[in-house]
Structure 1
Amino acid sequence: MAIKVDMDKVTEIIREVSAAEIAPRFGQLDDADIDTKTHAMDLVTIADTEAERVLTRRLTDLLPGSRALGEEAAHEDPTLQERIFAGDDPFWIIDPVDGTKNFAHHKQPFRCMVGLYSGGETVAAWIVDPIEGAATVAELGSGTRYQDQPVSVRSNITKASDAKGFLISYARDRIRKHYGHLDFFADVAHYSCCGAEYEETARGAFDFCAYRTLKPWDHAPGTLLVREAGGYARYITADKNNEYNANATAAGLLCASSEELWAEINEILIPLFT
């Protein structure tokens, strides 16, 4: 890592902010506490805005000279993402409530996600359950840990027909339309919370996850968790070396537990994503 940060202290901060700003509002939101952003299903709640506000302050205080790129701040200022990435300062990538639709409708799962970006790459990541406080944490070059215990992907899964994974409805619908079936995989699921999906993949409960909307706050933490757990995170493309980077763009993103599995699923998805 180009910079060092107290990983446990960051976990503590995320847990504290989640306990103060997110958990007490679960199932307690009024209509006035919920708003929409780009469309009717793109929700934001008071928990999102307040948690992001406090996380931004506490995390930038923890690492002097750092900045923050939060999902809600980026929505309010469309130039923020470009300006933050153009600078040289390390910065925190914050998704205060990943799975806001679930949260707003009093459903699980939802997560609080934070990544630390420095020197052109994500160097640390945290995904925390705001209700239980369970944390999955990764540091570049140091592996992935769940509740402070090392975890790894199911690297023995090399064929799509043996794989369980997460596919957004966009992918499921187009696979059925293009191929006429979904029988490529042992099982597919969708949590409406990519943070929880990344956790399950990194911990070996599932084997892959694929996404179309590629915002840094949705994927910078999760891809590091998967990669440090032994998996692969690359853009859905004919270029099989196109590794994920939080500041790049592509038609889609695929994470998988083995290189062979990634290559097979990438071939399945290329016609649908590109």
Structure 2
Amino acid sequence: MNDNYLKVARLAAAAGAEVLLSYQGRFSVREKAPRDLVTEADVAAQQAIQKILLSNFPDHGFVGEEEGHDQVSAEMLADPKHPPIWIVDPLDGTVNYVHQLQSFAVSIAMYHAGELQIGIVHDPVTREIFWAQRGAGAFLNDCPIQCSQTDRLDQALLACSFSAGTQHDSAELGRFAAALDGAQSVRRLGSAALNLCYVAAGRLDGYWATCVKPWDVAAGALIVTEAGGQIRALSGDRFDPWNPRFAATATEPLNDQLLRCIA
């Protein structure tokens, strides 16, 4: 793996984070769909990130929340000769950002040869930078991190994500109720990327989602696995970052219990 990939990705994440901070309190908001927001800051941050990544690696692919997700094929993803693909969420936690709730992040992952290779999640407010490179462990700034050792659902602090416009009779709320009954407690924090990083750092014991997109979770998923955690599809199969319906947990026994509870 080219060490320059990680260096440039960190620069790009920092640039995106600075854009988000600079736009706070002075952006306009529109709806992509009911209750699904996008701001000028999303677009500007993605442009800054994309410029840095593709100016350094012009032959690489780019999939961002605001563009490019319709240009990826299964053949492209499986081909080890295809150039790496960057998967970018310039603002994960848009609703939090719009309401000035200080829990949002920039998420950048690199996918190559059928695997996630690099993951970076940059919290602009706390200046915490979670990152991982396949086979090299997970880090918070310059310190190694690892998941908790929690292996019982009734002792676990969990987080979850709901889709925009979740209905009262939805399966998502059914899963939430089941987890509330089985776990120590459940949180809905508003940023999928940070949820995964908090699992990696031992702040949460587990996180599940059925309504997120690849750019929301690709970086965080690698960070969890490199921190010793478990992540599987709700079916129990191997996690697929391009179809992310999953449970991520600190330990394998906890993953088994959470999947039985919510799947």
- Normalising by the residue count of structure 2, what TM-score does the alignment of the two structures yield? 0.89
Matched, 1:122 2:116: yes
Matched, 1:73 2:67: yes
| 1:143-189 deviation per Cα after TM superposition (whole angstroms, max 9, x unaligned) | 100011000000x2111001001023566620476x5x823111110
For 1:34, the equivalent position in structure 2 comes to: 29
Matched, 1:159 2:157: no
- Rounded Cα–Cα distance in structure 2 between residues aligned with 1:265 and 1:112: 28
For 2:225, the equivalent position in structure 1 comes to: 227
- Rounded Cα–Cα distance in structure 2 between residues aligned with 1:176 and 1:190: 10
Give the secondary-structure state (helix, strand or coil) at the position aligned to 2:117: strand
For 2:248, the equivalent position in structure 1 comes to: 255
For 1:89, the equivalent position in structure 2 comes to: 83
Deviation at 1:28, TM superposition (A): 2.4
- Provide the aligned C-alpha RMSD in A: 2.1
- Rounded Cα–Cα distance in structure 1 between residues aligned with 2:84 and 2:94: 27
For 1:101, the equivalent position in structure 2 comes to: 95
Letter of the 1:193 counterpart: S
- Rounded Cα–Cα distance in structure 2 between residues aligned with 1:66 and 1:93: 11
Deviation at 1:82, TM superposition (A): 3.4
Deviation at 1:17, TM superposition (A): 3.1
The answer on whether the counterparts of 2:161 and 2:211 sit within 8 Å (CA) in structure 1 is: no
What is the total number of aligned residue pairs between the two structures? 253
- Rounded Cα–Cα distance in structure 2 between residues aligned with 1:214 and 1:234: 14
Letter of the 1:55 counterpart: I
For 1:209, the equivalent position in structure 2 comes to: 207
Letter of the 2:186 counterpart: V
Letter of the 1:173 counterpart: L
- Rounded Cα–Cα distance in structure 1 between residues aligned with 2:100 and 2:144: 31
Deviation at 1:5, TM superposition (A): 3.1
| 1:19-39 deviation per Cα after TM superposition (whole angstroms, max 9, x unaligned) | 1x210111222xxx21111x2
- Rounded Cα–Cα distance in structure 1 between residues aligned with 2:249 and 2:195: 12
Deviation at 1:108, TM superposition (A): 1.9
Moved over 4 A (4+): 169-172
Q: Which moved more, 1:49-58 or 1:80-89?
A: 80-89
| 1:127-146 deviation per Cα after TM superposition (whole angstroms, max 9, x unaligned) | 00123332000000001000
Matched, 1:150 2:149: no
Deviation at 1:86, TM superposition (A): 7.1
Quick one: structure 1 residues 232 and 86, their matched pair in 2 at CA, closer, same or farther if it must change by over 3 Å? closer
Quick one: structure 1 residues 214 and 172, their matched pair in 2 at CA, closer, same or farther if it must change by over 3 Å? closer
Deviation at 1:64, TM superposition (A): 4.1
- Rounded Cα–Cα distance in structure 2 between residues aligned with 1:176 and 1:22: 31
- Normalising by the residue count of structure 1, what TM-score does the alignment of the two structures yield? 0.85
Matched, 1:174 2:174: yes
For 1:133, the equivalent position in structure 2 comes to: 127
- Rounded Cα–Cα distance in structure 2 between residues aligned with 1:36 and 1:176: 26
- Rounded Cα–Cα distance in structure 2 between residues aligned with 1:199 and 1:246: 16
| 1:183-226 deviation per Cα after TM superposition (whole angstroms, max 9, x unaligned) | 31111101111111111111001100000124210111111010
Structure 2 gaps, min length 5: 163-169
Letter of the 1:221 counterpart: A
